[in-house]
A and B are shown apart, each in its own frame.
Chain A
Amino acid sequence: MTTTAERPARGGSVGKGAPARNGATQSKRMRRKAILVGWSFILPNFVGFALFTLIPVIAALVLAFMNWDSYNAPTWAGVGNFTRMLGDENFWIALQNTFLYALGHVPLTLAIALGLALLLNQKLRGIAFFRVAIFFPYITSLVAVAIVWNMLFNPTTGPVNQFLHLIGIADAPGWTASTTWALPAVIITSVWRDMGYYMVLYLAGLQAIPQEYYEAAEMDGAGRWHKFWNVTVPCLRPTTFFVLVMLSVSSFKVFDLIIVMTQGGPGRATTVLSQLIYQDGIVQGQFGYSSAISLVLFLIVLVITVFQFKLQQRRER
Chain B
Amino acid sequence: MRFKRTIVAASLATAAVMLAGCAGSPSTGGNADGKTTLRVSVWNYDQTPEFKALFTAFEKANPNITIQPVDILAANYEDKVTTMLSGGDTTDIITVKNLTDYAGYADKKQFLDVSSIAKSLPADKIPALKDYDVKGTTYATPYRQDFSVLYYNKTMFTDAGVADPANLTWDEFAADAKKLTKGSGGSKVYGAYIHTWNSMVQGYAAAQQDKSYDKPDYSWMKDQYNLTLGLQKSGDIMDWATANSQQTSYQTMFETGKAAMVPMGTWLIAPLLADEKKGTTKVDWGIAPIPQITSGGDITTMGGPTGFGINKNAKNPDAAKKFLKFAAGEQGAKAVASIGIVPAYHSDAITSQYFALEGMPQDATSKKAFNPDVIRPDGPTGTNGAAIGNILNQEHQLIMTGSKSVDDGIAEMQKRVKTEVLHQ
Instruction: Write the residues of chain A forming the contact surface with B, with a CB cutoff of 8 angstroms.
Output: 33, 36-37, 40-41, 43-44, 47-48, 51, 69-72, 88-90, 147, 150-151, 153-158, 174-179, 264-269, 279, 282-285
Contact = CB atoms under 8 A, between A and B. Distances in A.
A68 B244 CA distance: 35
Given A151-B246, A157-B242, A266 B401 contact: yes
B247 to A, nearest CB: 7
B170 to A, nearest CB: 24
B14 A44 contact: yes
A43 B398 contact: no
B386 A284 contact: yes
B403 A179 contact: yes
A155 B241 contact: yes
A178 B108 contact: no
A268 B401 CA distance: 13
Contacts of A155: 241-242, 245
B8 to A, nearest CB: 4
B77 to A, nearest CB: 12
Nearest to A146: B247
Interface in B291-333: none
Interface string B57-101: 000000000000000000000110011011000000000000000
Interface residues of B, number: 41
A71 B108 contact: yes
A266 B242 contact: no
Contacts of B56: none
A109 to B, nearest CB: 24
17 contacts: A43-B11, A44-B18, A47-B19, A48-B18, A70-B83, A70-B86, A71-B110, A72-B108, A89-B419, A154-B241, A156-B241, A178-B403, A266-B403, A282-B79, A283-B386, A285-B104, A285-B108
Contact of B244 (A36, A177, A267, A279): A177
Nearest to A175: B245
A117 B242 CA distance: 36
Nearest to A69: B108
Contact of A285 (B82, B241, B401): B82
Interface of B: 4, 7-8, 11-12, 14-15, 18-19, 22, 78-79, 82-83, 85-86, 104, 108-110, 239-242, 244-247, 386-387, 390, 394-395, 397-398, 401, 403-404, 416, 419-420
A150 B246 contact: yes
Q: Among A36, A44, A176, A282, which residue has the most Cβ atoms of chain B within 10 A?
A: A44
A20 B147 CA distance: 88
A189 B21 CA distance: 39
A154 B240 CA distance: 11
A312 B15 CA distance: 39
Contact of B8 (A36, A158, A177, A179): A36
Cβ-closest 8 pairs across A and B: A177-B241, A70-B86, A40-B11, A266-B397, A267-B398, A71-B108, A40-B8, A265-B397
A164 to B, nearest CB: 16
B398 A179 contact: yes
Contacts of B242: 154-157
A175 B241 CA distance: 9
Contacts of A268: 394
Given A70-B82, A151-B245, A156 B239 contact: yes
A90 B4 contact: no
Contacts of A151: 245-246
A309 to B, nearest CB: 34
Given A40-B11, A44-B18, A177 B82 contact: no
Contacts of B419: 89
A43 B14 CA distance: 9
Given A37-B8, A88-B420, A151-B246, A71 B14 contact: no
Given A43-B12, A285-B104, A150 B85 contact: no
Contacts of B85: 71
A44 B8 contact: no
A47 B7 contact: no
Q: Among B8, B403, B419, which residue has the most Cβ atoms of chain A within 10 A?
A: B403
A250 B108 CA distance: 36
Contacts of B7: 37, 40-41
Given A47-B15, A150-B245, A90 B420 contact: yes
B241 A174 contact: yes
Nearest to A1: B4
B82 A279 contact: no
Contacts of B18: 44, 47-48, 51
Q: Among A43, A147, A154, A267, which residue has the most Cβ atoms of chain B within 10 A?
A: A267
A143 B397 CA distance: 21
Given A71-B86, A89-B420, A265-B397, A177 B245 contact: yes
Q: Among A147, A264, A285, which residue has the most Cβ atoms of chain B within 10 A?
A: A285
B15 A43 contact: yes
Given A48-B18, A72-B108, A179-B403, 17 more contacts: A36-B8, A37-B8, A43-B11, A44-B11, A47-B15, A71-B86, A71-B108, A150-B247, A151-B245, A155-B242, A174-B241, A177-B245, A177-B401, A179-B401, A266-B398, A282-B83, A285-B108
